[in-house]
């Protein structure tokens, strides 16, 4: 029965893939660099080449925004998007990035390297954020908006002693040089959708590529992350339909221990947040926070919880509709984007929600405490990345949360099992941070600390694509629990891995 459901879904996925391969809207994209972009019959490689083509079309202005959006929609329907969710319309429009990418593509052509890994590397290396100096004005603006991400240009200018025009120019430079973006954490449980993260290592001799493809076909997979530097990886899921469906999903995952996963921990989200401590950055050098040393070495944890930016998951709320959910995910892509632009983006995806209603929805998100805005940036000497999975009791969750505001750049996710922490730190301090977090494992109340190096939180499959598999009736998601059987996508009827 499980295998039959998987075959049915794969048949639908293959039809989607054929539709994507027709690439009707992508074919309309013309760029000045068409003769440089190589051709291939391999579907996964074509996906990344199409991302490059759409990006070049957007940068060069040879294609309308409407055509670019339609092409991006085709890309998001491609199976490869689940594994590596790159939306060219969200990449920074920057002459330097464009030239880097162009040179990388020319190099591939010179050596006739038209493989998925080669093209993917050419794309990712073009957008690596290099460490560049930051002027005092931009640093002060960065510090201010890290704490006040939604502040108006006028108010921020008054508080910084700058004109609003100077602040606007500074934000533009920060976006170009340090990829500064504004987003928001979102309590999806308020919309009857529960977030979950599965940390895992697959059984020995597993074929990772086939496993990845099988997991990507599961219609509730939101993202998938693993590096070659570690056996550990994690997958994120969005499960609609309340506690009954979470229980069904949890039960299906439990059956995969030892057959598919050598190690696994399923985290059901309870809260989230992020912090920056730009006071550590002086004269181009990052200091190591004394609060971390005091807490992790001497057990002196901060008592003041007022500085912790944390959003609790409060469960389903009355008054939220299907449209609220769609607007919330559009808003999450750009928390400072004008509501008129969000309305336009929604219309391009087939949802006609006018600017006034978008503004009303956003106001409601904050009135009901289901959104927490934050800023992201790259570079500035934070070149080492870690993800820590800390299994601990509630008391240790509070202690660890109290230390996070002291770190340079951190995002956290609390769960029923403990806390997950993504940090960006200077490379020369990576050993110090690694040892500090690993030292927690010896503390009573902390069961284990697992780490994944070179990982930061990535983009995920667009919510607008996920909801195509879900049914929404009477302001509730209706998904049969049997559809949440992860084993149907990873095992055959004899409980043998399909890969």
121 CB contacts (<8 Å, ≥6 apart)? none
pTM as predicted: 0.77
Angle at 196 between CA 192 and CA 201, to 5 degrees: 160
With cut-offs at 50, 70 and 90, classify the pLDDT of residue 18. Answer: very low
Find the distance separating the first CA and the last CA of the chain, reported in whole Å. 18
Residue 82: predicted pLDDT: 75
Over range 469-476, report the average pLDDT. 64
Phi-psi region of 241 (alpha: psi -120 to 50; beta: other; left: phi over 0): left
CA neighbor of 333 nearest in space, from 477, 462, 150, 161: 462
With cut-offs at 50, 70 and 90, classify the pLDDT of residue 90. Answer: confident
With cut-offs at 50, 70 and 90, classify the pLDDT of residue 384. Answer: confident
pLDDT of residue 19 exceeding 60: no
With cut-offs at 50, 70 and 90, classify the pLDDT of residue 96. Answer: confident
Largest distance between two CA atoms of the chain:
69
Lowest mean per-residue pLDDT among 103-107, 416-420, 489-493, 494-498: 494-498
With cut-offs at 50, 70 and 90, classify the pLDDT of residue 129. Answer: low
Residue 414: predicted pLDDT: 97
460-497 burial, b at 16+ Cβ within 10 Å, e below that, comes to bbbbbbbbeebebeeeebebeeebbbbbbbbbeeeeeb
pLDDT of residue 124 exceeding 60: yes
Percent of the chain with pLDDT over 70: 88
Query: What is residue 228's DSSP assignment?
Result: T
394-421 burial, b at 16+ Cβ within 10 Å, e below that, comes to eebbebbbbbbbbbbbbbbbbbebbbbb
CA neighbor of 262 nearest in space, from 195, 208, 214, 196: 208
With cut-offs at 50, 70 and 90, classify the pLDDT of residue 495. Answer: low
pLDDT of residue 93 exceeding 80: no
pLDDT of residue 382 exceeding 70: yes
Over range 432-456, report the average pLDDT. 87
Residue 94: predicted pLDDT: 74
CA neighbor of 392 nearest in space, from 381, 400, 384: 400
CA neighbor of 52 nearest in space, from 25, 10, 91, 13: 91
Residue 22: predicted pLDDT: 60
Over range 216-224, report the average pLDDT. 85
């Amino acid at each position: 029965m499980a295998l039959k459901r998987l075959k049915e879904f794969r048949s639908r996925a293959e039809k989607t893939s054929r539709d994507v391969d027709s690439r009707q809207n992508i074919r309309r994209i013309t760029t000045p660099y068409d003769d440089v972009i190589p051709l291939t019959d391999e579907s996964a490689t074509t996906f990344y080449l199409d991302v490059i083509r759409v990006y070049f079309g957007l940068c060069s202005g040879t294609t309308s925004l409407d055509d670019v959006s339609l092409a991006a929609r085709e890309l998001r329907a491609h199976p490869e998007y689940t594994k590596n969710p790159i939306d060219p319309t969200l990449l920074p429009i920057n002459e330097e990035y464009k030239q880097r990418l162009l040179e990388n593509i020319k190099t591939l052509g010179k050596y006739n390297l038209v493989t998925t890994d080669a093209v993917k590397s050419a794309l990712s290396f073009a957008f690596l954020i290099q460490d560049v100096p930051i002027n005092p004005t931009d640093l002060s603006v960065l510090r201010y908006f890290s704490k006040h991400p939604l502040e108006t240009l006028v108010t921020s200018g008054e508080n910084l002693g700058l004109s609003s025009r100077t602040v606007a120019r500074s934000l533009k430079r920060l976006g170009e040089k340090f990829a500064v973006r504004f987003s928001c954490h979102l309590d999806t449980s308020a919309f009857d959708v529960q977030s979950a993260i599965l940390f895992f290592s697959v059984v020995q001799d597993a074929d990772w590529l086939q496993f990845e493809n099988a997991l990507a076909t599961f219609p509730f997979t939101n993202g998938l992350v693993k590096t070659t530097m570690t056996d550990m990886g994690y997958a994120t899921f969005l499960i609609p339909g309340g506690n009954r469906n979470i229980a069904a999903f949890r039960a299906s995952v439990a059956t995969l221990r030892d057959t598919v996963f050598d190690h696994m921990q399923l985290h059901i989200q309870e809260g989230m947040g992020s912090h920056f401590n730009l006071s550590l950055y002086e004269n181009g050098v990052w200091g190591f926070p004394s609060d971390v040393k005091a807490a992790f070495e001497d057990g002196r944890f901060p008592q003041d919880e007022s500085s912790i930016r944390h959003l609790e998951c409060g469960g389903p709320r009355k008054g939220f509709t299907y449209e609220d959910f769609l607007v919330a995910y559009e808003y999450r892509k750009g928390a400072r984007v004008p509501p008129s632009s969000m309305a336009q983006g929604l219309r391009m995806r087939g949802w006609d929600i006018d600017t006034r209603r978008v503004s009303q929805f956003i106001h409601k998100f904050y009135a009901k405490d289901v959104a927490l805005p934050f800023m992201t940036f790259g570079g500035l000497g934070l070149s080492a990345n870690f993800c820590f999975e800390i299994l601990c009791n509630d008391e240790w969750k509070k202690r660890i949360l109290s230390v996070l505001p002291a770190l340079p750049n951190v995002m956290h996710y609390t769960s029923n099992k403990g806390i997950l922490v993504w940090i960006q730190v200077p490379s020369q301090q990576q050993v110090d941070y690694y040892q500090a977090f690993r030292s927690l494992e010896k503390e009573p109340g902390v069961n284990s600390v697992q780490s994944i190096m070179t990982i930061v939180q990535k983009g995920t499959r667009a919510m607008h694509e996920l909801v195509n598999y879900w049914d929404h009736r009477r302001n509730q998601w209706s998904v049969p629990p049997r559809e949440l059987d992860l084993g149907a996508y990873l095992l055959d009827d004899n409980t043998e891995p399909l890969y």
